[in-house]
Amino acid sequence: MTVEEQAKLIIEKFPRVHGDTDPFRVLIRTILSQRSRDENTDEAAERLFGAGYDTPEKLAKAKPEDLYNLIRPAGMFRQKARRIIETSREILERFNGRVPDTLEELISLPGVGRKTANIVLYVSFGKPALAVDTHVHRISNRLGWVRTRIPEQTEMELMRILPKELWGPINGSMVEFGKKICLPRNPKCDLCPLKEVCPSANTDG
């Protein structure tokens, strides 16, 4: 089974549906998600947007302490509050209130790295972009698709070996796969659809 076939199987078996595609809300939610569990990110984002902080204009006027209790579930709330306010102000000042749709412009914003930028590009703008988080980096190496040390190297390698139409979907599906089956410790190899081709199945499981 080729790497492409394995990737397609993961996408098929572990689909992720992105409900909200608004570029600004996706951007803020992804910043909140850094080093945070999905359920905590969801709670923080819902509280923040539910309190009316759902546009660059509204967040740009906020003070960090206004947001602390709202985004506390996501962790690192002081740092993240400053980042999303600074990002909102830059979107207003530099991009006329619109979230930019290029990688270069997105990563110029405070607290926005390649992973966050690529998620926004794919989810909100439908562009081929490959977001590599800890799940994608770990599982790609475990499956033997790549031999890389850092996520940035994994991103470049996966872009080289996977067709563009898989770049966007593979992130969300890898996250679901990593949470349900391919756990960091004690992976459920007996339930894995790729156990026959995974070089780590006999040693990790």
Q: What is the pLDDT of residues 185-204, one digit of tens each?
A: 999 999 999 999 999 875 54
Residue 181 confidence (pLDDT) above 80: yes
Place of tokens 């207003």: 92
**Hey, what are 58's tokens?**
């509204």
Can you tell me the mean pLDDT for 73-79? 95
CATH class, 3-16+130-204 region: mainly alpha
Give me the pLDDT at residue 204, please. 43
What are the domain boundaries of the chain? 3-16+130-204, 23-125
| Catalytic one of 13, 133, 180, 195 | 133
Superfamily of domain 23-125: Hypothetical protein; domain 2 (1.10.340.30)
Q: Which long-range contacts (CB under 8 A, 24 or more apart) does 54-62 make?
A: 54/24, 54/25, 55/24, 56/24, 56/88, 56/89, 56/91, 56/92, 56/97, 57/88, 57/92, 57/97, 59/28, 59/84, 59/85, 59/88, 60/85, 60/88, 60/89, 60/92
| Catalytic one of 115, 164, 180, 188 | 115
**Hey, what are 53's tokens?**
């902080």
Can you tell me the mean pLDDT for 83-100? 96
- Contact in structure between 82 and 64 (CB atoms under 8 Å): yes
Can you tell me the mean pLDDT for 87-107? 97
Residue 40 confidence (pLDDT) above 80: yes
Distances (CA, A) of 96 to 18, 57, 89, 91: 26, 10, 10, 6
Does the active-site annotation cover 133? yes
With CA atoms as reference, report the closest residue to 174 among 145, 201, 205, 204. 145
Residue 73 confidence (pLDDT) above 70: yes
Residue 170 confidence (pLDDT) above 70: yes
Give me the pLDDT at residue 16, please. 87
Does the active-site annotation cover 204? no
Give me the pLDDT at residue 19, please. 80
Can you tell me the mean pLDDT for 16-38? 91
Can you tell me the mean pLDDT for 82-87? 96
Q: How high does pLDDT run on average in the chain?
A: 94
With CA atoms as reference, report the closest residue to 30 among 128, 127, 99. 99
> DSSP assignment, residue 108?
T
